[in-house]
Chains A and B, each alone.
Chain A
Amino acid sequence: MTGHFVVLAQEAGVSNEFAQTLVDGISFGAIYALLAMGFVIIFKSTSVINFAHGGLTGLGAFLVAAFVTVLDFPGRYVTVLPEWGQWTLNVLTALLAAALIGVILERVFLRPMVGEALFAVAIVTLGLDIVVRTITNDWIGTNPRPLGAPWGLNVVDLGWVRIAWSEIVQILLTVILLAAIALFLRSRTGVAMRATAFDQETARAQGINVGRIFSVAWAIGAFLAGVAGIFFSVFPRRATGVDQATAFIAFRAFPAVIIGGLDSIPGAVVGGFAVGIAEAAANTYLGLEFLGSGFPGIVGYLLMLVILLIRPYGLFGTPEIRRV
């Protein structure tokens, strides 16, 4: 996606555009991986295909913008921390607010649909996406809202590759969150979540509070969507901040989910990086002239179609057992 560095690398006589493409692909793939992971966690635990993930992404990014620039809460009270520390604190608060909203949405709109056909529930999330996205866009207003990221436009130039500070933070954060999720799934609640994903009724019979698991799943999903939203709204994606188009980006992460398999969390991560690298590669190697504009945007879906022909349940998904 950030093919801009590739051209500069070429300019500087560095022929390692492959490495640059890889770096760009990984950094963008990290965003997709976060979105896909949140999506799959929700799906595994609640069997809900969450079309509202885009709305949650925009909402999370907007909340961060609001907490950082407008409210400066609680950063302004914790003056002992440096600027970037305050910023991080504000961001965490905003993301917790996003998680809370995710929980509320699940409770209000999706709990009544437990037991209904999956198609119907998926369409409810589609409707939810419209509502969340429209209201968030109305709050965002007409000008983009900057997120005040402390790393600004800074770039690290290693000679053979250029990488923006925000991309470094992004990749590191994705790895940390991945590890955290993996650890979480071994915890008591995590095992309960895995049990619920496997068989809801039996899990209830075992005494697991399935409703609480649903809330936790949506909280995690909204949190991860918010993090992805942040990285969509800072340099090098958009220098100006979150705007009304941010919520639509999440649709590009759906192929990542399918490629990895709807019910596999490691699959989601693999899928995310696959789509990111595919897009970066399309950007670099498939010039714009004959393909027109916007081709890297659909590369993810094309890759998904190819993989589905070979493995209809994604790379790591479990095949559905159908009984007559």
Chain B
Amino acid sequence: MRKKSKWLALLLVLGLVLAACGDGEGGDTTTAAGEVATDVGVDLEAQTITIGLLSDLSGPFAPLVQVINSGHEIYWANVNANGGINGLQVNLEVRDTGYVVDTHVQLYEELKSQVVAFGHSTGSPHTVAINSQLQADGILAIPLTWYSGWSDPDINANLVPHGVPYCIEAMNMLEYLTLEAPDAATLAIASSPGDYGEDSNAGARLAAEELGLEIVYDGTGLVDAADEATLAEVASGIAGSGADLVWVTTSPTPFGSIYGQALAAGFTGALWSGAGPTWNPALVGPESPIKDALAAEFYVSAYYAPWGADSPGNQEVRELVEAAGADPLDYYAEGVIEAKIMEQALRAAYDAGDMTQAGVLAAAKSLESVTFDGLAPDETYVGEPNDRVQRAQFISRPDPAGLAEGTSTGVTLIESMYTSPIAEAYEFTETCFSLG
């Protein structure tokens, strides 16, 4: 017994020493050695640039974010191999926030003196929590969420969003569904609580109004992934409403449960869709009992092109991922898109001679056109909110056969860079759902 606690004591001391060793005097500012100004995160002597990633690697969105981070790694490795940013090599500092707000804030504080900008920040309330500090510190961050608030000028001084926001996405998809089912007159909506579900369903309500659809069931904010009672309740609500169209915004597992229960209750014939993160190819995996029904009734919404799409951007992603020896997955594209935005911001900052944190921020906010060669619609960060908010997206159908054979990532693209008339006409001046 005694010996063991001596070892424990020794381990503790070792741990403390290592903690101390791991942190030298971080965050020293270096003055420019050449013609480019730097402060934090860019080391002209060592020829490195450090980008921070505040990722959810162990929480509810870990499936997507782990792959997205791989996408970052693969892309930057390629950029570095081809000369980097004017000779500067880009390194990533990744931190796992576990989707917990205080960990997110804590890790932001830890990284802000090591990185020049944040390659992504996972989670809307999390990004909101660091937003005022981002503004106080003058650092750039790319939000890894599609909350419409990031296009709201009152909120987004330090943020560069990408991809169609949730509420406009809902407008696009519902309008497309009415094209596919012209006789549809009723709509059922449901979602997880929070910015994700509320923002998306706010868009769904706006779309219903424009399209003349009657909302016969509204389960906004009721879906709780950890509580099957809510899933059953929502499923029975949807099934009982007899709606022609269904819009459910949540994560894949509760969605599968809701869909399966509605299906078993005899609810068929409606067209289903949901926000991008609702979809996961595993829903139509070979063992999934709902794959055939889902393939017939579901429409997949996405912010970027799926793996198998035919565009130079997709080709680039495929080559990079295959060279890295990884399996095909759609999410790599998201990592590449975020990395490309950051790359263009860094290059613009270098050309402007200012690679301080504030300089990179200013460079990003003055990018007029960020292109992705067909992988995603172009983005612009100058101009009126109504002009620069993204309205184009991708629509696909599930492809269980292709997934089983290994010829696709589970989806077949049917519409590329689609914008619906109602989304086009929508006046965007502020966020669809206020996070308070």
Alpha-carbon distance between A152 and B263 when the two chains are bound, in angstroms: 12
Tell me if B228 and A1 are in contact (CB < 8 A). yes
User: What 1/0 mask marks residues of chain A from 297 to 311 whose CB sits below 8 Å from any chain B CB?
Assistant: 100000000000000
Tell me if A144 and B265 are in contact (CB < 8 A). no
Q: B227 within 8 Å of A by Cβ?
A: yes
Tell me if B282 and A297 are in contact (CB < 8 A). no
Chain B interface residue bracket vs A: 35 or more
Which one of B222, B229, B240, B260 contacts A153 once the chains associate, using CB atoms below 8 Å?
A: B260
Q: A106 within 8 Å of B by Cβ?
A: no
Known: A240-B253, A245-B253, A288-B233. A4 touches B227 (CB 8 A): no
Known: A293-B222, A297-B229. A6 touches B257 (CB 8 A): no
Which one of A3, A143, A294 contacts B232 once the chains associate, using CB atoms below 8 Å?
A: A3
Known: A7-B236, A8-B236. A240 touches B283 (CB 8 A): yes
Q: A283 within 8 Å of B by Cβ?
A: yes
8 Å CB interface, A81-111 against B: none
CB distance from B95 to the nearest CB of A (A): 18
Q: B270 within 8 Å of A by Cβ?
A: no
Tell me if A236 and B229 are in contact (CB < 8 A). no
Main secondary structure of the interface of A (DSSP, over half): loop
Which one of A6, A239, A245 contacts B236 once the chains associate, using CB atoms below 8 Å?
A: A6
Q: A5 within 8 Å of B by Cβ?
A: yes
Tell me if A240 and B227 are in contact (CB < 8 A). no
Tell me if A248 and B221 are in contact (CB < 8 A). no
8 Å CB interface, B218-260 against A: 221-222, 224-230, 232-233, 235-237, 239-240, 252-253, 256-257, 259-260
For B227, the chain A residues whose CB sits under 8 A away are 293-294, 296-297
Q: A79 within 8 Å of B by Cβ?
A: no
CB distance from B285 to the nearest CB of A (A): 7
Q: A146 within 8 Å of B by Cβ?
A: yes
CB distance from B271 to the nearest CB of A (A): 19
Tell me if A143 and B282 are in contact (CB < 8 A). yes
For A2, the chain B residues whose CB sits under 8 A away are 232, 261
Tell me if B259 and A239 are in contact (CB < 8 A). yes
Nearest chain B residue, comparing its CB with the CB of A151? B289
Known: A142-B62, A294-B224. A240 touches B282 (CB 8 A): yes
Known: A240-B252, A240-B253, A243-B253. A4 touches B236 (CB 8 A): yes
Tell me if B63 and A143 are in contact (CB < 8 A). yes
Interface centre among A142, A146, A148, A243 (most CB of B within 10 A): A142
Q: A189 within 8 Å of B by Cβ?
A: no
Main secondary structure of the interface of B (DSSP, over half): helix
Known: A144-B256, A153-B264, A240-B257. A293 touches B288 (CB 8 A): no
Nearest chain A residue, comparing its CB with the CB of B61? A142
Alpha-carbon distance between A279 and B233 when the two chains are bound, in angstroms: 12
Interface centre among B225, B232, B257 (most CB of A within 10 A): B232
Q: B83 within 8 Å of A by Cβ?
A: no
Tell me if B260 and A8 are in contact (CB < 8 A). no
Q: A49 within 8 Å of B by Cβ?
A: no
Tell me if A296 and B63 are in contact (CB < 8 A). no
Nearest chain B residue, comparing its CB with the CB of A142? B63
Which one of A8, A148, A288 contacts B222 once the chains associate, using CB atoms below 8 Å?
A: A288
Tell me if A294 and B229 are in contact (CB < 8 A). yes
Known: A146-B285, A283-B233. A238 touches B66 (CB 8 A): no
For A236, the chain B residues whose CB sits under 8 A away are 232, 257, 260-261, 264
Q: A212 within 8 Å of B by Cβ?
A: no
Which one of A8, A69, A297 contacts B240 once the chains associate, using CB atoms below 8 Å?
A: A8
CB distance from A68 to the nearest CB of B (A): 9
Q: A116 within 8 Å of B by Cβ?
A: no
Known: A5-B265, A146-B285. A238 touches B233 (CB 8 A): no
Tell me if B221 and A293 are in contact (CB < 8 A). yes
CB distance from A16 to the nearest CB of B (A): 16
Q: A235 within 8 Å of B by Cβ?
A: yes
Alpha-carbon distance between A283 and B256 when the two chains are bound, in angstroms: 20
Q: B422 within 8 Å of A by Cβ?
A: no
For B252, the chain A residues whose CB sits under 8 A away are 143-144, 240
Binding site for A on B (CB under 8 A): 62-63, 66, 193, 221-222, 224-230, 232-233, 235-237, 239-240, 252-253, 256-257, 259-266, 280, 282-283, 285, 287-290
Q: A148-B287, A239-B289 known; 18 other A-B pairs, CB under 8 Å?
A: A4-B232, A4-B233, A4-B261, A8-B236, A8-B240, A11-B240, A144-B282, A146-B288, A152-B289, A153-B263, A235-B264, A236-B232, A236-B257, A236-B264, A237-B228, A240-B252, A243-B253, A283-B229
Selected A-B contacts with CB under 8 Å, 15 pairs? A1-B229, A1-B232, A4-B232, A4-B261, A5-B236, A142-B62, A144-B253, A164-B264, A238-B253, A238-B256, A239-B261, A240-B257, A241-B287, A294-B224, A294-B227
Binding site for B on A (CB under 8 A): 1-8, 10-11, 69, 141-144, 146, 148, 152-153, 155, 162, 164, 235-241, 243, 245, 248, 279, 283, 288, 293-297
